[in-house]
Amino acid sequence: MTRHLLEIDDLSAEEFGQVLTRCVSKHPVQVLEGRGAALIFEKPSNRTRNSTEMAVVELGGHPIYLKPDEVDIDGRESAEDVARTLACFHSVIAARVFDHSVLVRMSEAVEIPVVNLLSDLSHPLQAIADMLTIREEFGPDLSGRSLTWVGDYSNVARSLALACAMSSVSVRFACPDGYGPSQKDLDLFKRTGAPEVRSSTDPALEVDGTDVVVTDAWYSMGQEAEAVMRRPIFEPYRVDQALMANAAPGAIFLHCLPAHRGEEVTNEVLDGPQSRVWAEAANRLPAARGALEWLVIASEAER
């Protein structure tokens, strides 16, 4: 059976652990030797494009970047036909899309792995990189640890919460009214294995004693028109030194980047001693490499 990675819970907890192990291996299996990987981007990218292209190279393959107007999913041809065409030439399709359902349709049309490079729903490769960063800090046994998400419950937040749940890390959310996780997602995190799941509108309360503080932009790509309306709503959710002081001694700060400095996070925190954002960015490469390696091997082993 072909394996896809559209969201972290496409993997079992055991498989998620196998992916993390491949990410830290010094000897990547050359699963893409002599093969291609199509990388489609409907939105801008710095980290995801560069790390995924280099991951394909490290696995022996050849990445081909496709810009939005070049492919024009559901404009020039349907998402299914785009995917079927790319599967004639490539062993992996990876895509950054506005609408998550486009990824689902592509994955249902082909028998090669389809990987989510960010959708409106999720950002699984970012969550894998974040978990690598958290493990570098606290070790592989994360039981008893907690992570607090502050601000907008974004695509990044959902995937990271699932990754935490699979790693026995408790998850807490401090989000403005109307911008937090649904009860359905909170139940999902609990069911997936998070020892404790909390959600409120109070950043100081949710950061109190936590090990990892994470935030994201107050408005995601595609939501720029809401920026002016959102700023006053999110103002109390800026991560600054006073908020970080509530966290556990030894707590770290993460941000997927790009950061809007001075909005969701201050320079002091982003550039300060608790910040691990550059290690996190660097971990995007092993995360992409480990995930691609696992997906290709798992898909071909089950055939």
Region 245-274 residues binding ligand CP, contact defined as CB under 6 A: 256-258
Among residues 43 and 84, whose Cβ is nearest to ligand NVA? 43
Which amino acid would we find at residue 268? E
Q: Are 79 and 105 in contact (CB under 8 A)?
A: yes
Q: Which residue is nearest to ligand CP (CB)?
A: 48
Residues 6+ apart with CB under 8 A from 258: 46, 217
Residue closer to ligand NVA by CB (options 104, 221) is 221
Q: CB of residue 222 vs ligand CP: minimum separation in angstroms?
A: 12
Q: Give me the least distance between CB of 160 and ligand NVA, in Å please.
A: 11
CA dihedral 130, 298, 102, 41 (to 10 degrees): 60
Rounded to a whole number of angstroms, the minimum distance from the CB of residue 122 to ligand NVA is: 10
Q: Could you say which of 221, 227, 282, 297 contacts ligand NVA (CB under 6 A)?
A: 221
Q: Which is nearer to ligand NVA, 13 or 221 (CB)?
A: 221
Tokens of 15: 């498989």
d(CA 188, CA 274): 30
**Contacting range for ligand NVA; rule: CB under 6 A; set: 15-23, 84-92, 108-116, 215-223:** 215-223
- Taking CB under 6 A as the binding criterion, the range among 149-157, 176-184, 193-201, 234-242 that sits at the site for ligand NVA is 149-157
Annotated active-site residue 216? The verdict is yes
Active site residue 123: yes
Residue 118 interacting with ligand CP (CB under 6 A): yes
Q: How far apart are CA 10 and CA 39, in angstroms?
A: 20
Among 12, 46, 241, 267, binds ligand CP (CB under 6 A): 46
Q: Residue 239 pairs with which residues in a beta bridge?
A: 265
22 a catalytic residue: no
Residue 46: name its binding partner from ligand CP, ligand NVA, none (Cβ under 5 to 8 Å by kind).
ligand CP
d(CA 41, CA 288): 16
Q: Smallest distance, Å, CB 45 to ligand NVA?
A: 8
Three-state secondary structure call for residue 116 = strand
Smallest separation (angstroms) from ligand NVA to the CB of 214:
12
Q: Where are the alpha helices (DSSP H) in the chain?
A: 13-23, 47-58, 68-71, 79-87, 100-109, 124-138, 155-166, 183-192, 203-207, 227-234, 241-244, 267-270, 277-282, 284-301
For 128, phi then psi, to 5°, come to -65, -45
d(CA 64, CA 299): 21
b/e per residue, 88-108, with b = 16+ CB within 10 A? Answer: eebbbbbbbbebbebbbbbbe
Query: Under the criterion CB under 6 A, does residue 220 sit at the interface with ligand NVA?
Result: yes
233 binds, among ligand CP, ligand NVA, none (CB under 5 to 8 A by kind): none
126 catalytic residue (yes or no) = yes
Identity of the residue, 47 or 145, whose beta carbon is nearer to ligand CP in the bound complex:
47
- The verdict on 256 binding ligand NVA (CB under 6 A) reads yes
Catalytic positions, written as ranges: 96, 123, 126, 216, 256, 284
Residues lying near ligand CP in the complex (CB under 6 A) are found at: 45-48, 118, 126, 256-258
Residues lying near ligand NVA in the complex (CB under 6 A) are found at: 118, 154-156, 216-217, 220-221, 256
